[in-house]
Amino acid sequence: MPKSEFLREAEARGFIFQCTDMEALDAAMQAGPVGGYIGFDPTADSLHVGSLIQIMMLRLMHRHGHRPVALVGGGTAKIGDPSFREEARQLMTAETIATNLRGVEACLRQFLPLGTGPAEPLLTNNADWLDKLSYIDLLRDVGIHFSINRMLSFDSVRSRLEREQGLTFLEFNYSILQSYDFRELNLRHGVTLQMGGSDQWGNIVSGIDLVRRMNGAQVFGLTTPLLTTSSGAKMGKTAQGAVWLSAKRLPVFDYWQFWRNVEDADVGRFLKLFTELPIEECDRLAALEGAGINEAKKVLATEATALCHGRAAAEEAAEAARRTFEEGAVTAAALPTTTVPAALLAEGVPAFRLFVEAGFAASNGEARRLIRGGGARVNDVVVKDEAQVMTDADLIDGAIKLSSGRKRHILVQPA
RNA sequence: GGAGGGAUGCCCGAGUGGCUAAAGGGGGCGGACUGUAAAUCCGCUGGUGUACGCCUACGUUGGUUCGAAUCCAACUCCCUCCA
């Protein structure tokens, strides 16, 4: 049982999967503030729920007086992490990386009060040092510490080698650069802990080795469990795709809904991981029986959304959900909205077309099937005829509410 | 370098000349039941069109045939074994 507050709470909340040296890390954390970092690769212009456990970990550190460091992989993104991947990642262009970096940083800012003071969360970019490396120097200074034999033995790499897809030299170097990051952060900011998902274990351990050899410092690694839902699905994937943290990618209402629709069995676990309510409160809510658990889900949704998008937006989403689901209101201001050319409605547009415009169907045929199946509603009235024509006359408060199934709603406005 | 095997729809996977828009499963979407849950049951699941249809699709290209996912040739990629 760890003694430091951070590790105790992290363990109690379910953040810890593996640690390289729990006792020593515990001792270090009791002795004083520890700098710990997590890397985020800019593979898209927003992070998604899959990275949330890492972000929450950084917040948890901060709350306990340690210094969280968020590293964005502006440099490593040029290579792509091959760990546990079946195929090589598509290489990204410099412009894509730059765009993604801005998006990822914005996501991190949503959660972390960044600053430069010794106790404030720090944001760094490994392009700052990786871009400057010279190949020969790197080989001599860093390469000499890596054993190919050992690198080949990592699970994350082995599967790639043993199975079909090969592993290019480019990708093989990812691990070395990530290790080098640890060393740089240790030198520059005194970081002594690297955290990450359990799939990062191999990379983290390599980094610890490198820091010991190059800097002569003892540093630590801590991984979080791979999160799945109770029914085994990978956390954070929904029908629509990833659950994005950026409101540009996923409306706040939908983000709230994601948490609201979590399986019963996951509520307690998620409350502890993705909200900052006291553990006892999480346990109390998770213990609610039957339909009562829905109250816990609402708390989860609002709390988790508040951390991501702010309290006000979260409350608004909760209210929109209440009006939509509990009162059956036709329009609720905070529902996601989209626009269609005003001319469409002025001239009259078939309902199926509108469902396509709203993104509820990928093709006219799919929209027709939705209507045939009885799952399409306009202003809460089931659409019976696929050819039904919508016009300006269908606007209510300047918008038409489209619903696909019980749960997906959107307001369509002419523009 | 040599010898075999393989490439099918979002994924897995059946299919060896017409009955194949292509079995079955998964996933997804919708419906029922419920609690905006899970489990279960039902329907749908290439595009276009109201519809007979038309278009696109079984690694790529070309060929045989009235007709090809299925036969032939070349090419590309992958796997296994030998050296």
Q: Which residues in A365-375 are b (16+ Cβ under 10 Å) and which e? A: eebbebbeeeb
CA of A363 to C1' of B44 (A): 14
Asked if A229 CB < 7 A from strand B, the reply is no
C-alpha A203/C-alpha A212 separation (Å) is 14
Asked if A234 CB < 7 A from strand B, the reply is no
CA of A365 to C1' of B55 (A): 15
Residue for token pair 């690297």: A194
Query: In this predicted structure, what is the pLDDT of residue A229?
Result: 73
- State which nucleotides on strand B lie below 7 Å from a protein beta carbon: 28-32, 34-39, 43-50, 78-80
Sorting pLDDT into bands at 50, 70 and 90, what band is A386? confident
ipTM of the complex: 0.87
pLDDT for residue A169 is more than 90: no
Query: In this predicted structure, what is the pLDDT of residue A22?
Result: 94
Mean of the per-residue pLDDT values of chain A: 88
CA of A322 to C1' of B75 (A): 61
Helix axis angle, A5-13 to A279-286, nearest 10°: 10
Phi first, then psi: give them for residue A409, nearest 5 degrees.
-130, 145
Residues A111 and A59: beta-carbon distance below 8 Å: yes
pLDDT for residue A151 is more than 90: no
CA of A164 to C1' of B1 (A): 21
Residues A207 and A221: beta-carbon distance below 8 Å: yes
**Residues 125-164, chain A: which have Cβ under 7 A from strand B?**
162-164
- Identify nearest nucleotide to residue A297 by CA to C1′ distance: B37
**Residues 304-363, chain A: which have Cβ under 7 A from strand B?**
321-322, 324-326, 362-363
Residues A319 and A312: beta-carbon distance below 8 Å: no
Q: Report residue A65 as tokens.
A: 């007086």
B34: residue with closest CA to C1': A291
Q: Report residue A132 as tokens.
A: 């400057």
Query: In this predicted structure, what is the pLDDT of residue A209?
Result: 93
pLDDT digits (tens, 9 = 90+) for A55-89: 999 999 999 999 999 999 999 888 777 666 655 56
C-alpha A178/C-alpha A312 separation (Å) is 38
Nearest alpha carbon to residue A194 among A296, A376, A58: A58
C-alpha A217/C-alpha A199 separation (Å) is 24
Q: Is the pLDDT higher at A241 or at A53?
A: A53
Partners of A339 in the β-ladder: A413
Mean pLDDT computed over A285-294? 90
Let me know if A8 is exposed, middle or buried by CB neighbors in 10 A (0-12, 13-18, 19+): middle
Residues near A202 by Cβ (< 8 Å), separated by ≥ 6?
Answer: A83, A154, A155, A156, A157, A175
Nearest alpha carbon to residue A156 among A199, A198, A207, A205: A199
C-alpha A55/C-alpha A109 separation (Å) is 10
- Identify nearest nucleotide to residue A321 by CA to C1′ distance: B36
Residues near A54 by Cβ (< 8 Å), separated by ≥ 6?
Answer: A38, A40, A195, A196, A197, A224
- Identify nearest nucleotide to residue A291 by CA to C1′ distance: B35
Helix axis angle, A293-309 to A252-260, nearest 10°: 150
Query: In this predicted structure, what is the pLDDT of residue A164?
Result: 44
pLDDT for residue A233 is more than 70: no
pLDDT for residue A273 is more than 60: yes
CA of A373 to C1' of B67 (A): 37
pLDDT digits (tens, 9 = 90+) for A329-376: 887 778 999 999 998 888 889 999 999 999 899 899 999 999 988 999
Least confident of A73-77, A207-211, A301-305: A73-77
C-alpha A14/C-alpha A16 separation (Å) is 6
Residues near A36 by Cβ (< 8 Å), separated by ≥ 6?
Answer: A58, A61, A66, A67, A68, A69, A191, A192, A193, A194, A195, A222
| Percent of chain A with pLDDT strictly greater than 70 | 92
**Residues 263-282, chain A: which have Cβ under 7 A from strand B?**
263-264
- Identify nearest nucleotide to residue A289 by CA to C1′ distance: B35
- Identify nearest nucleotide to residue A229 by CA to C1′ distance: B38
Asked if A369 CB < 7 A from strand B, the reply is yes
C-alpha A185/C-alpha A371 separation (Å) is 56
Residue for token pair 């790499």: A157
In chain A, count H helices and then E strands. 19, 15
Pairing of strands A18-19, A35-40: unpaired
**For chain A, how big is the Rg over CA atoms in Å?**
24
